[in-house]
Chains A and B, each alone.
Chain A
Amino acid sequence: MAETMVKSPAIEVSFIDEVCSIPGGEAIRSCIQCGMCTGSCPTASRWDYPPRKAIAMVRAGLRKELLSSNSMWFCASCYTCTVRCPRDIKPADIMHALEVLAIRDGLSTKRSRTPVMYKCFVDSAKGNGRVYELGMMLKFFLRTNPFAALKMAPVGLGLFLHKRLPLKPNRIKGVGELKAILNEAKALGGAK
């Protein structure tokens, strides 16, 4: 049902329908607000609105407040919530759906550096077909806090000295083919 929904400017789509329409967000209506997700989340204390509350906010239509918060960006995708949820709503997948909406609307918060990291990762993987870790890391630190890079320098050095930080990207042969696939996906308007 949710999958065939057509977004039209004439009809206002509710926040919950929007989340439902994104792959992974389908089951959100079954939530009973038990709080198992928040109780299981290893990073919940850092979220502006912890998982249970974030889900309640989707249902209450508090779109802008939630999408411009840092909440979902603290999801480490450990899936503890997902395997414990008594209603099988897959809270981690819902958080990923919220991330997609926040990026789509340019609402990502400045209070988490994760959206920038994810974008750097995506650009790197698109450009080479595989992730170029050094390039991605440098781009991320330049875009967020170059001084933080200094603090992380020993980590980079440790990787480099142990032959775990290739200096050159590893580009696949089919990088052009991959770009064509992704361009076609873009032209199709993204998964809705």
Chain B
Amino acid sequence: MKYYSYFPGCSAEAAASPLGLSVLPVAKELDMDLAELEDWNCCGSTPFGSVDKLAAACMAARNLALAEKRGFDLVTPCSNCFVVLHSANTQLKELPRLREQVDKALAVAKLKYSGGVRVRHLAEVLYTDITPEVIGAKVTKPLKGLKVAPYYGCQLVRPNGFDDPEFPHSLDELVASLGADAVSWELKARCCGSSLVMSEPDVALELINKLLRNAQENGAQCLVTPCPLCHINLDVYQSQVNSKFKTKYNLPVLFLTQLIGVALGIPADALALSRNVVSPMRVLAPYL
């Protein structure tokens, strides 16, 4: 058993609930003890860091302080939480004045952070600690013949990534370990527009269209991503892309943990497959 502190992030409880729900049975199957950080708060996300840097650092630091009490690596399945918590962790080490101010603010709540937490992304933990080999050995329903486009998005691999920031390969290996064919496609680590989909939908829908087109042209039957924001854009907004660009995409987008779960023989219900807006049941039927 490997032990971690677990930071789901706000979206895993809401708009990306299939992520939050599918992480736990998969972790159990892979002998990972993911203990949810008690009473964690929003990481601060990009908006805090764009409005007030000290408030942003404090949002992250409260979580880091809570995690430090427990003493294990802090693992999040959300690429944005990962970047934000990881960057705050680094800044608190490198910027003594910021650190001093954050210390004062945390002291009001009798909290203290000494810099002892390692922030990690769940996909990196699956790749590095659990390894594709071990996951592959536990596969009971090999996804033979399924063409999956691994979509890394941005913040899993940039700027604090464990993989190549331009041409990453870790998800390809994880997908292959499940018996599926990892589709090779050029845009696998390009931007989906993230939250601009809400404030500037024209910009984001154009980026999403490019991604879906590129994945489809390379023969993908579905995409897989670890990131909740990417998932919302590619899955939930796929119908908006179709109406804006007169396209007919019907490309299911799975969370990494959902795809792994299917191959490990975890039932569809436990993986919240029915919560994906573009239904993955058609392509997954042979394996369920």
Q: How far is the CB of A186 from chain B (nearest CB, A)?
A: 7
- Whole-angstrom CA separation of A170 from B51 in the bound complex: 23
- Type the 1/0 row for B263-280, where 1 means its CB is closer than 8 Å to any CB of A: 000000000001111000
- Once the chains bind, are B199 and A112 in contact (CB under 8 Å)? yes
- Once the chains bind, are B154 and A79 in contact (CB under 8 Å)? yes
- Whole-angstrom CA separation of A173 from B41 in the bound complex: 10
Residue from A78, A131, A165 in contact with B191 in the complex, judged by beta carbons closer than 8 Å:
A78
Residue from B14, B50, B83 in contact with A99 in the complex, judged by beta carbons closer than 8 Å:
B50
**Which chain B residues (46-97) contact chain A, with CB distance < 8 Å?**
46-55, 57-59, 62, 83, 91, 95-97
- Contacts A43-B203, A184-B108 given; does A165 touch B51 at CB 8 Å: no
Tally inter-chain residue pairs, CB-CB below 8 A.
227
Number of A residues near B (Cβ < 8 Å) is 68
What band does the interface of chain B fall in when counting residues whose beta carbon is under 8 Å from A? Answer: 35 or more
- Type the 1/0 row for A127-164, where 1 means its CB is closer than 8 Å to any CB of B: 00111010001001000100010001011001100111
- Once the chains bind, are A190 and B165 in contact (CB under 8 Å)? no
Q: How far is the CB of B38 from chain A (nearest CB, A)?
A: 9
Smallest Cβ-Cβ distance to B101: which chain A residue: A188
Q: How far is the CB of A79 from chain B (nearest CB, A)?
A: 4
- Whole-angstrom CA separation of A97 from B46 in the bound complex: 11
- Whole-angstrom CA separation of A131 from B16 in the bound complex: 13
- Type the 1/0 row for A62-90, where 1 means its CB is closer than 8 Å to any CB of B: 00000000000110111110110000001
Given contacts A117-B199, A133-B15, could you give 8 more A-B pairs where the C-beta distance is less than 8 Å? Answer: A96-B46, A125-B10, A125-B44, A174-B39, A181-B108, A182-B59, A185-B102, A191-B53
